């Protein structure tokens, strides 16, 4: 079985064809870089997504600080992760790269700040 | 009157990159004027990832990307003023700005870089009829409300326009608990990136309706209560028989960005009716000597990486101008023809340095299996084969030094599509 | 017990209130919306007509000429935008040119100065207004025609009435009026009852409903919807004068006119509708307005539209203004005030206030101060004045609306002055924040924040135009 998909690894958006008739030897074509191959294989085996959102920050001019998952998380865990992110609140100062929550939903991915929030 | 070698208007990605490059080319007497309370511009509200693959070879979120450039500016001690709005520039490069501390100030600049970005096309500009109630926002306004201020504009959302901001907001609203009923696109194709259709819509089963538009907005008790959408014919006219009503409390509009060129207008800068930005030469200089443009105020980009690249070039050219004045006056127009809607720069200003020139262009429609080609007096001198070109994706062709050398005064330079 | 209760906070109600405040008495104005100028007064052409248009001898003709003459002086006294820009009535067919002469004669008969009107050739019209269509064969050039900002005029009247002692009750909808023992009991939607010796009905399209609660002599007000398009200020040069079209067999035309703020206004359509609240714009209406306007100025470009709106004219079935005491003693009507209502308002208000004062034997209010100073408009000041203003108050150095260059100082002033703004649209009408080409895309979050701070309200309670129109529904976190 061949699945057609668009690679989301970068803004190029390559049109991939993923041949998964043999799940032990998945063939990817249409990609322009190695990341496309990995994406194609993951997409038919265990699709993952980066999650970006924001968390509440106290004691700063900003009310929110933006965050991301350090690694892509399984697609079916996105909303579970978001529910946890909603509960996180941190105190300023926050620096880009600060880990605000570890191993979210057991995915092995941390919630990391993507913006500075200075203390007032 | 105060004087300054270089005034950069706008501290978003374009202004920051221009400042950094100008500094690295020797400019010290300079200032960035930013109207918001922080540097970084609209990137601060673009908290999704996907930025920086070209520039930094890694995937960053908007605020992270912005911070990289903010850090470069801070490391160089480049002065900047926040909450400072430029209200006028004249053609002699006198910049008038206001803020709380300085009041109203006029600065005589040797060079000015306009890097003040673009704005969103509002509801009124696309004549959507209906109730004038709360709940109709441009996608970027909603993005600011959600990502910076922490407010939910609504919980049942229809999005008109499948540009990237519209797609990104579909996912963002979904992430914050809203139900996105549909993304409606007037054209038979999306002007957004394919990856965003996949990861922002398909992942969440949000329908994308091509060749449809919103024909009516209904309101109840002060808020949007539903929108009516209809299919359009090939002249983009709504077919009212196909109308269908979708219950929602919010309509987000992602129907195009317009370079914000009012300041350029005050300085009598020639503007392109196609891009909405200035007409510039390969040094990014506008028709008014010493006034430069780069980034989304010049033409709307899809990727910030290209904004940075273009703006660093503008910063470098502004520095050269400050040091050496204007170069050659030989002006060779570059035209987009045969499906190529525009090319930036619009003018090659011949001088003797023969630096490579990056030509950026957009096509007017979707074309498959074409060759984007630069023609010099009818001869192909550079080209790029593409499986597909779409109006939503900017193409770039770099003319290398040896080719630039070939372009003589009076030459006919065109960018065209071969094989369409 | 009030001496006078005015129903309706449009330009009529507010001007009557202000003229009444020249007398000593207890006056109240009640308005069902949360601000003044929420109906016809906020959505009309803003034309101060010279007075040639209405049938000689009608209330419309009499008050138009009188009101238009007062307008310039009044705009200085109350500090609202006004400009004498002249107007042309365009004729597109040689056969119709006789009608221009009829209008001219009617103007003279109505009291418009003959030297203020002139019939000119199409070429002469194009010499004065180069973008006028080549199809135009002749025109009536009316030098006395002017433009005013209708909502700012209404707000100015209201503020001045307020500082001179008139009480304003907003969000107050009348549900019934009963006259008992010579006193009117006016019941509001919240259950409260106000008592007044005199009631003045200035309820716009609802004036029939109010009248018919009390009077035996009924009348009907028809809502006549008019849709408009507003063009970017960069098109401001398209015409300086107001361009009317001579009514033809094809119907009454639409106008192309500058606004006092430099935009170009195109419209209105005219459709009688059953609803008294429906100000939705329609697909057909907008196309219709634009297509018709393009006959006058062919170079109009749709791409330059920044917004559309619709308003309802209060058209009385008797086809004239209904002004004066009704069949019920001490119940006054000022109804059916459609065009030229804005032009007529100043004169109507003086007459109505005088009549009421006579009736109640009111004394002259010696402390009346008719002068009102509006919000300083940063965008239109000289740099020197801007500098001074920021030195006095730093908030004038913070630009909030980048398209119209509106400062935080102006927004705070708009909120904190008498009858101050309570929502986004109130801010917009008073300061122009959000009226520019981005249509509040950038300034909405900032204005929300300022309203929330100044009114000490949670941002989620801030509305676009009152109850229910909340801008956001809650917080994300």
The domain that contains C436 carries what CATH number?
Answer: 1.10.10
Residue A25 pLDDT > 80 = yes
Mean pLDDT confidence for B8-25: 98
C-beta atoms surrounding A78 within 10 Å: 23
Structural domain contains residue C368: no
Q: What would the two tokens of residue C185 be? A: 């009991």
Kindly report, residue by residue over C37-69, the tens digit of the pLDDT. 999 999 999 999 999 999 999 999 999 999 999
Question: Which residue of chain B comes nearest to A30, CA vs CA?
Answer: B387
Q: Band of the pLDDT at C249, cuts 50, 70, 90?
A: low
Inspect the interface and report whether the beta carbons of C397 and B222 lie closer than 8 Å.
Answer: no
Q: What is the mean pLDDT of chain A?
A: 93
* Shared domain check, C133 and C230: yes
The answer to whether residue C103 is domain-embedded is yes
- Of C288, C316, C344, the position where a domain reaches its end is C316
Q: What mean pLDDT do residues C26-39 have? A: 97
Task: Mark which residues 318-377 of B lie under 8 Å from A by CB.
Answer: none
Using the predicted structure, report yes or no on whether residue B350 has a pLDDT greater than 90. no
For B277, residues 6+ apart whose C-beta sits below 8 A from its C-beta are B259, B261, B264, B271, B293, B297, B298, B299, B344
Sheet holding B413-418, edge to edge: B347-350, B330-336, B413-418, B367-376, B379-389
What CATH number should be reported for the domain holding residue C175?
3.50.50.60
Query: Which one has a higher pLDDT value, C252 or C330?
Result: C330
Q: What is the pLDDT of residue B330?
A: 77
**CB-CB neighbors (< 8 A) of A78 in chain B:** 175
Contact B203 A82 (CB under 8 A): no
Please give, rounded to a whole number of angstroms, the shortest distance from the CA of C425 to a CA of chain B.
Answer: 10
- The answer as to whether C54 is a domain residue is no
Chain B residues closer than 8 Å to C474 by CB: 151-152
What is Dmax (Cα atoms) for chain A? 58
Residue C296 has what pLDDT?
A: 97
Report residue B331's pLDDT band, with 50, 70 and 90 as the boundaries.
confident
C174 and C304 part of one domain = no
pLDDT at res. C326: 97
Domain that holds residue C301: 85-147+222-316
Minimal-distance CA residue of chain B relative to A8: B195
Higher pLDDT: C164 or B331? It is C164
**How would residue B392 be classed by pLDDT, with cut points 50, 70 and 90?**
confident
Query: Do C212 and C229 sit in the same domain of this protein?
Result: no
Backbone dihedral region for residue B216 (phi beyond 0: left; psi -120 to 50: alpha; all else: beta): beta
B83, B228, C64 from C59: Cα distances, Å? 53, 43, 8
Name the nearest CA neighbour of C13 among C222, C314, C261, C218. C314
Distance from CA of B386 to the nearest CA of C (A): 32
> What average pLDDT score do residues C184-190 get?
98
CA-based nearest residue in chain C for residue B132 = C280
- pLDDT of residue C250 exceeding 70, the answer is no
Q: Which residue has the tokens 């050219």?
A: B317
- Please indicate if any CB of chain C lies within 8 Å of the CB of B256: no
- Asked if residue C356 and residue C207 are part of one domain, the reply reads yes
Q: Are C147 and C241 in contact (CB under 8 A)?
A: no
- Considering only CB atoms, C383 lies closest to which of B96, B132, B140, namely B96
Q: Please indicate, yes or no, if residue C448 is contained in any of the structural domains.
A: yes
% pLDDT > 70, chain A: 99
Q: What are the tens digits of pLDDT across the range C253-299?
A: 899 999 999 999 999 999 999 999 999 999 889 899 999 999 999 99
Kindly report the nearest CA distance between residue B246 and chain C, in angstroms.
18
- C332 and C349, same domain (yes or no): yes
pLDDT of residue B126: 85
Q: Does B268 touch chain C (CB under 8 A)?
A: no
Say which residues have a Cβ less than 8 Å from residue B171's Cβ, sequence separation at least 6. B48, B199, B200, B201, B203, B204
Judged against a pLDDT cut of 90, whether residue B362 lies above it is answered with yes
Q: Which residues of A touch B149 (CB under 8 A)?
A: 63-64
Give the pLDDT confidence score for residue C292 in this predicted structure: 94
Nearest by CB: B193 against A13, A15, A66: A13
Residues in A closer than 8 angstroms to B59, CB to CB, are 10, 50
**How far apart, in Å, are the Cα atoms of B404 and each of A99, B320, B354, C176?**
49, 19, 6, 82
* C149-170 pLDDT tens trace: 999 999 999 999 999 999 999 9
Assign residue C117 the CATH number of its domain.
3.30.9.10
Residue C293 within a domain: yes
What is the ipTM metric for this complex? 0.94
- pLDDT higher than 80, residue C252: no
- Taking an 8 Å Cβ-Cβ cutoff, which residues of chain C contact chain A? 476-477
Indicate yes or no: CB of B47 within 8 angstroms of CB of A66: yes
Distance from CA of A66 to the nearest CA of C (A): 12
From chain C, the residues in CB contact with A56 under 8 A are 477
Q: Which residues of C touch A90 (CB under 8 A)?
A: none
Domains in chain A: ranges and CATH: 2-45 (no CATH), 52-113 (3.10.530.10)
Q: How many domains does chain C have?
A: 3
Predicted confidence (pLDDT) at residue C251 exceeds the cutoff of 70: no
Cβ contact B247:B225 at 8 Å = yes
- How many other CB atoms are found less than 10 A from the CB of residue C448? 22
Given the residues C49, C261, C315, C377, the one annotated as active site:
C49
- The answer to whether the CB atoms of B99 and C397 lie below 8 A apart is yes
**CB of B235 within 8 Å of any CB in chain C?**
no
pLDDT exceeds 80 at position C187:
yes
Q: Which of C438, C463, C472 sits opposite B152 (nearest CB)?
A: C472
Work out the pLDDT band at B393, boundaries 50, 70, 90: confident
Tell me, yes or no, whether C472 lies in a domain: no
Is the pLDDT assigned to residue C355 strictly greater than 90?
yes
Same domain for C227 and C312, yes or no, is yes
Helices marked H in B148-292 — which ranges? 164-175, 194-196, 262-266
CA angle B94, B116, B83 (to 5 degrees): 80
- Say how far residue C158 (Cα) sits from the centre of its chain: 12
> Are C23 and C90 part of one and the same domain?
no
Optimal mutation site among A115, A116, A120, interface B, most CBs of chain B within 10 A: A115
C200 in Cβ contact with C10 (< 8 Å): no
Please report the pLDDT score of residue B420 as a whole number: 79
Contact B83 C473 (CB under 8 A): no
CA distance B297 to chain C (A): 15
**Candidates A4, A8, A67, partner chain B, best to mutate (most B CBs within 10 A):** A8
Confidence of residue A103 (pLDDT cuts 50, 70, 90): very high
Mean pLDDT of the region C205-223 = 97
CA distance B66 to B40: 5
Give the B:C interface size as CB pairs under 8 Å: 153
Q: Are residues C186 and C229 in the same domain?
A: no
C256 domain-assigned: yes
Q: What percent of chain C has pLDDT over 70?
A: 99
Is C49 a known active-site residue?
Answer: yes
Instruction: Sort out which chain C residues have CB atoms less than 8 A from A55's CB and list them.
Output: 477
Tell me how many degrees the CA angle C138-C140-C143 measures, rounded to the nearest 5.
135
What's the gap in Å between the CA of B130 and the closest CA on chain C? 5
Scan for tokens 């209560």, then name that residue: B225
Give B-chain residues touching A96 at CB under 8 angstroms: 63-64, 67
In a shared domain, residues C226 and C352: no
Instruction: Note whether C260 and C302 are same-domain residues.
Output: yes
Subunits with 3+ Cβ pairs within 8 Å of A are B, C
The answer to whether residue C69 is domain-embedded is no
Using an 8 Å CB-CB cutoff, list chain A residues near B61.
Answer: 52, 66, 68, 114
Whether residue C24 is found in the same domain as residue C35? yes
Residues C174, C255, single domain; the answer is: no
* Nearest chain C alpha carbon to A54: C477
By Cβ distance, the residue of B120, B131, B265 closest to C441 is B120
Give the C-alpha separation, B198 to A59, whole Å: 38
Residue with tokens 């238009």: C68
Residue B254 has pLDDT above 70, yes or no: yes
Number of A/C CB contacts below 8 angstroms equals 8
d(CA B195, CA A69): 19
């Amino acid at each position: 079985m061949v699945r057609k998909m668009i690679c989301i690894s970068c803004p190029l958006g390559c049109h991939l064809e993923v041949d998964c008739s043999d799940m032990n030897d998945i063939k990817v074509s249409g990609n322009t870089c190695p990341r496309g191959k990995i994406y194609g294989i993951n997409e038919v085996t265990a699709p993952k997504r980066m999650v970006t959102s924001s968390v509440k920050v106290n004691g700063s001019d900003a009310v929110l600080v933006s965050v991301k998952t350090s690694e892509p998380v399984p697609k079916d865990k996105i909303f579970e992760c978001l529910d946890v992110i909603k509960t996180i609140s941190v105190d300023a100062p926050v620096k880009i790269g600060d880990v605000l929550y570890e191993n979210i939903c057991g995915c092995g991915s941390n919630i990391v700040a993507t913006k500075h929030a200075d203390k007032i | 009157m105060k004087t300054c070698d270089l005034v950069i208007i706008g501290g978003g990605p374009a202004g920051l990159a221009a400042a950094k490059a100008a500094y690295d080319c020797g400019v010290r007497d300079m200032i960035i004027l930013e109207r918001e309370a922080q540097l970084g511009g609209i990137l601060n509200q673009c908290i999704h990832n996907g930025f920086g693959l070209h520039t930094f070879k890694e995937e960053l979120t908007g605020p992270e990307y912005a911070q990289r450039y903010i850090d470069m500016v801070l490391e160089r001690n480049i002065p900047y003023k926040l909450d400072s709005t430029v209200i006028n520039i004249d053609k002699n490069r006198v910049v008038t700005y206001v803020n709380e501390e300085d009041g109203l100030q006029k600065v005589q600049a040797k060079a000015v870089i306009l890097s003040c970005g673009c704005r969103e096309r509002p509801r009124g500009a696309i004549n959507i009829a209906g109730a004038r109630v709360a709940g109709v926002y441009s996608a970027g306004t909603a993005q600011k409300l959600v990502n910076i201020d922490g407010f939910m504009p609504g919980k049942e959302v229809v999005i008109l326009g499948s540009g990237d901001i519209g797609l990104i907001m579909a996912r963002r609203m979904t992430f914050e608990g809203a139900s996105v009923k549909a993304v409606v696109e007037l054209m038979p194709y999306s002007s957004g990136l394919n990856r965003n259709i996949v990861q922002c819509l398909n992942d969440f089963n949000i329908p994308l309706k091509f060749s449809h538009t919103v024909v009516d907005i209904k309101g109840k008790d002060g808020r949007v209560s539903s929108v009516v959408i209809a299919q359009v014919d090939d002249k983009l006219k709504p077919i009212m028989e196909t109308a269908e009503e979708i219950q929602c409390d919010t309509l987000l509009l992602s129907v195009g960005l317009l370079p914000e060129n009012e300041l350029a207008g005050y300085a009598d800068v020639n503007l392109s009716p196609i891009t909405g930005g200035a007409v510039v030469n390969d040094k990014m200089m506008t028709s008014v000597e010493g006034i430069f443009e780069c980034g989304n105020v010049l033409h709307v980009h899809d990727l910030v990486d290209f904004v940075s690249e273009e703006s660093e070039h503008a910063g470098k050219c502004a520095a050269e101008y400050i040091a050496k004045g204007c170069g050659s006056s030989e002006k060779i127009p570059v035209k987009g023809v045969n499906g190529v809607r525009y090319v930036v720069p619009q003018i090659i200003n011949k001088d003797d340095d023969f630096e490579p020139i990056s030509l950026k262009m957009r096509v007017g429609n979707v074309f498959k299996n074409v060759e984007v080609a630069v023609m010099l007096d009818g001869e192909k001198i550079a080209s790029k084969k593409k499986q597909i070109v779409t109006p939503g994706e900017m193409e770039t062709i770099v003319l290398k030094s040896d080719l630039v050398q070939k372009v003589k005064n009076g030459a006919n330079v065109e960018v065209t599509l071969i094989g369409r | 017990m009030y001496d006078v209760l005015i129903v309706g906070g449009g330009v009529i109600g507010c001007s009557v209130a202000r003229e009444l405040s020249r007398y000593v008495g207890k006056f109240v104005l009640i308005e069902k919306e949360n601000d003044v100028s929420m109906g016809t007064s906020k959505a009309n052409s803003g034309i101060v007509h010279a007075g040639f248009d209405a049938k000689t001898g009608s209330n419309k003709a009499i008050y138009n000429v009188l009101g238009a003459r007062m307008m310039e002086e009044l705009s200085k006294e109350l500090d609202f935008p006004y400009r004498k820009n002249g107007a042309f009535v365009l004729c597109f067919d040689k056969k119709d040119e006789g009608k221009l002469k009829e209008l001219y004669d009617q103007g003279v008969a109505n009291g418009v100065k003959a030297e203020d009107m002139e019939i000119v050739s199409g070429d002469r019209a194009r010499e004065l207004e180069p973008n006028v269509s080549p199809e135009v064969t002749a025109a009536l050039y009316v030098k006395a025609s002017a433009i005013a900002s209708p909502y700012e005029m209404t707000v100015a009247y209201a503020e001045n009435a307020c500082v001179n002692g008139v009480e304003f009750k907003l969000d107050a909808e009348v549900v019934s009026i009963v006259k008992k023992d010579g006193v009117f009991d006016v019941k509001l939607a919240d259950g409260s009852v106000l008592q007044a010796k005199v009631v003045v009905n200035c309820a716009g399209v609802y004036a029939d409903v109010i009248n018919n609660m009390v009077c035996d002599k009924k009348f009907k007000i028809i809502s006549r919807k008019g849709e408009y398009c507003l063009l970017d200020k960069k098109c401001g040069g398209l015409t300086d004068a107001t361009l009317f079209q001579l009514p033809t067999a094809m119907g009454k035309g639409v106008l192309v006119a500058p606004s006092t703020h430099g935009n170009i206004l195109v419209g209105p359509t005219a459709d009688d509708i059953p609803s008294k609240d429906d100000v939705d714009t329609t697909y057909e209406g907008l196309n219709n307005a634009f297509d018709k306007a393009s006959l006058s100025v062919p170079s109009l470009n749709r791409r330059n539209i920044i917004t559309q709106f619709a308003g309802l004219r209060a058209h009385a079935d008797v086809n004239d203004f209904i002004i004066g005491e009704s069949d019920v003693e001490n119940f006054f009507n000022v109804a059916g005030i459609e065009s030229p209502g804005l032009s007529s308002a100043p004169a109507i208000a003086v007459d109505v206030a005088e009549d009421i004062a006579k009736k109640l034997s009111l004394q002259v209010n010696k402390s009346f101060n008719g002068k009102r100073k509006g919000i300083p408009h940063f965008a239109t000041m000289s740099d020197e004045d801007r500098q001074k203003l920021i030195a006095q108050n730093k908030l004038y150095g913070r630009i909030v609306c980048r398209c119209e260059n509106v400062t935080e100082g102006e927004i705070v002033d708009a909120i904190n002055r008498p009858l101050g703004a309570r929502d986004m649209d109130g801010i917009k009408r008073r300061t122009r924040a959000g009226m520019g080409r981005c249509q509040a895309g950038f300034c909405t979050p900032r204005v929300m924040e300022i309203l929330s701070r100044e009114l000490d309200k949670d941002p989620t309670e801030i509305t676009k135009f009152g109850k229910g129109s909340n801008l956001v529904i809650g917080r994300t976190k």
